[in-house]
Homo-oligomer: A and B are copies of this chain.
Amino acid sequence: MPEPHAPAVILLSGGLDSATVLALANMQGFACHALTVDYGQRHRAELDAAVDVARALGARAHRIIAVDLTGFGGSALTDRAIAVPEAPTQGIPLTYVPARNTIMLSLALAWAEVLDAGDLFIGVNALDYSGYPDCRPEYIAGYERMANLATRAAVEGRSMKIHAPLQHLTKAQIVARGSELGVDFALTVSCYQADASGAACGRCDACRLRSKGFAETGIADPTRYQPRP
């Protein structure tokens, strides 16, 4: 357990996974500083969802920081000319955003340094996930090693821990854990092509994984879907 009210930075996308992570960090007694990155993602509704989730779970502070990755493109999430796949694909899918988790963890690391926090939380998952390279446990371990060379704290002998508490859970286990912790999943948005109100498409990889998670637990799925044409 941390010192009571030790500050921690929690990456909060507005989706189901990171909301559960915020609830877990809260439960562990951290003073949770939620960080949302507006990287130009297609599904803008997740940014509004992040605001609602941070408020509902009582985050100590919440920042949204903008870094426009649409200029680099290379992903269905940041380049409107690339369609979001609606059927399972082989290999790393088109929704992979180059270096996204590395950029988000680096922004979290900056805030952690300013807060003198030694704990970062990220909701990556390596079971029911889309096969992104920057969700793999070996990547998270490598990031932690790098972070422990990067900062003032590192030079002064204090360490930085990257917590990825969902890493080895199935989506159903995440839904169950979040539910126990009182996460209101109706506030969260997972869909890669959610409309402005947060209603989900029901067809993308993120929708499929989320829906399967609820189905397997038997917990009622509060996801709002777009009307079918």
- Taking CB atoms, residues of chain B closer than 8 Å to A87 are none
Please give, as numbers and ranges, the residues of chain B lying within 8 Å of A129 by CB-CB distance. none
Chain B residues near A146 (CB-CB < 8 A):
102, 139, 142-143, 145-146
A151 interface residue (CB < 8 Å to B): yes
Beta-carbon contact of B92 and A100 below 8 Å? no
Contacts of A132-181 to chain B: CB distance below 8 A: 133-134, 136, 138-139, 142-143, 145-152, 154-155
The residue that A110 contacts in the complex, of B72, B143, B148, B149, with Cβ under 8 A, is: B72
| A215 beta carbon closer than 8 Å to chain B | no
With A65-B67, A113-B74 in contact, do A102 and B150 touch (Cβ < 8 Å)?
yes
Q: Assuming A63-B71, A67-B66, A133-B151, is B106 touching A102 (CB within 8 A)?
A: yes
A103 in contact (CB, < 8 A): yes
Q: B155–A149 contact, CB under 8 A?
A: no
Complex CA gap A40/B72 in Å reads: 20
- A100: B residues at CB distance < 8 A: 110
| In the complex, A68 has a CB within 8 A of chain B | yes
Return the chain B residue nearest A133 by Cβ: B155
In chain A, residues 67-106, which have Cβ atoms closer than 8 Å to a Cβ of chain B? 67-69, 71-74, 92, 96-103, 105-106
- In the assembled complex, the Cα of A101 lies from the Cα of B113 at a distance in Å of 13
Is B114 a contact of A73 with CB atoms below 8 Å? Answer: yes
> Which residues of the other chain, B, contact A73 by a CB distance below 8 angstroms?
114
Measured CA separation A67–B72 after assembly (Å):
14
| Chain B residues positioned under 8 Å from A68 (CB to CB) | 65-66
Q: Closest residue to A37 on the B side, CB-wise?
A: B67
Q: Is the CB of A109 within 8 A of B113?
A: no
Interchain CA distance A217-B136 in the complex, whole Å: 49
A40 to B159 Cα, complex, angstroms: 28
The 10 A-B residue pairs whose C-beta atoms are closest, nearest first, are: A98-B113, A74-B114, A99-B110, A67-B67, A146-B146, A142-B149, A142-B146, A99-B109, A139-B149, A106-B106
11 A-B interface contacts by CB (under 8 A): A66-B68, A67-B107, A98-B151, A99-B113, A99-B150, A102-B146, A102-B147, A105-B106, A133-B149, A136-B149, A146-B146
